[in-house]
């Protein structure tokens, strides 16, 4: 079991790093639609500072490591939500 968890963790890390390297040059889906429809120049700035603005961890100066950290944080967050949701569903079934 530990071997499977280690393998899945390594696979997740590799996919996040490769995903950053492949997707970082492509614009966000919403940004590309705004550019296609010609209203991207009317975009407003969000919060003055956000730790994960533009899918980068702002406390790291280098671009791709900042994107990897943001991606790993996102994977961990979604994993946590999945575990929480699974426990709530199981608790509901067990009554």
pLDDT at 24 over 80: no
Whole-number mean pLDDT of the chain? Answer: 81
Q: Which domain holds residue 43?
A: 2-94
Position 27 confidence tier, pLDDT thresholds 50, 70, 90: low
- Nearby residues of 26 by Cβ (< 8 Å), 6 or more positions away: 32
pLDDT in the model for residue 26: 62
- What distance in Å separates the CA atoms of residue 81 and residue 66, rounded to the nearest whole number? 23
- E strand or H helix that includes residue 33: helix 29-37
Number of folded domains in the chain? 1
- The DSSP call for residue 42 is G
Q: What is the pTM of this model?
A: 0.59
């Amino acid at each position: 079991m530990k071997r499977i968890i280690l393998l899945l963790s390594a696979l997740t890390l590799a996919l996040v790093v490769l995903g950053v390297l492949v997707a970082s040059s492509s614009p966000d889906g919403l940004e590309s639609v705004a550019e296609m429809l010609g209203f991207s120049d009317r975009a407003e700035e969000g919060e003055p500072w956000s730790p994960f603005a533009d899918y980068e961890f702002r406390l790291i100066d280098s671009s791709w490591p900042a994107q990897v950290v943001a991606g790993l944080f996102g994977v961990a967050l979604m994993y946590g939500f999945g575990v929480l949701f699974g426990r709530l569903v199981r608790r509901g079934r067990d009554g």
